[in-house]
Chain A
């Protein structure tokens, strides 16, 4: 029974004497490799040239602030629960008087760490977050020499307050989220 058109009948053919010389086959192979010299190259020169990244690409995480520059995260722990790799850990703290411009709600994350060596970049933390606080971005996790430097704390995760240091995640938001 033939399943596909690509199937071939295996044959163990003995070579005739011209084929046994191997020279014609070698010359044929040399011509093939020579023709490849002039083909278009597949290389992407990485730091200067980047491949287009899809909107839904799941790269390095960011902890978002709201429009007034206050941290969104309330340290509810849903992301840590959702994380299949158990890469997220956090400590909650209560907002003091005078810290209203720093944190949006009364509870905030005093410590928030993601172990990037455990993280599988599945995006479930982002799905779980009820406060629009954590997003995966199109940035790529940089390499490092020491394992402990892959544990990213709030200093590396939270975006800045100035417009230039904000991380744009509008591409990741779904249409209905944007309209809210």
Chain B
């Protein structure tokens, strides 16, 4: 049962991720990215990490992708408004993608595909456990990331504030 769900979800994840890259309409690209996030949340639920799954949906699907959608809607990008890429740009893109491909290939080569086994059901992903770990073992990174968010917020306020003449 779990295996079936896992393979269905994985197939959906990969398929929607491919659609994100290959579709010509930015709107569909954004929407399939949302689908992709949902299937990843499904993986978290399979691992009994409900808290992570829900937070993933709230943060990524609920907040960040709304902003993406917002931008796409406002820009109203079309296939015909696509600016033709210059030769230099094409070469740069090819080199970057090729380097990424090499890196991926190297990392795949160094991993050994062991037997597929589901981790035993644990309540590590439940909210109490996550909270306890965050506020004991990982307190410093947690607080530092909160400072990062604070600085981002202040930066946004500064940028949005009108200059007084």
A and B touch in the complex (CB under 8 A): no
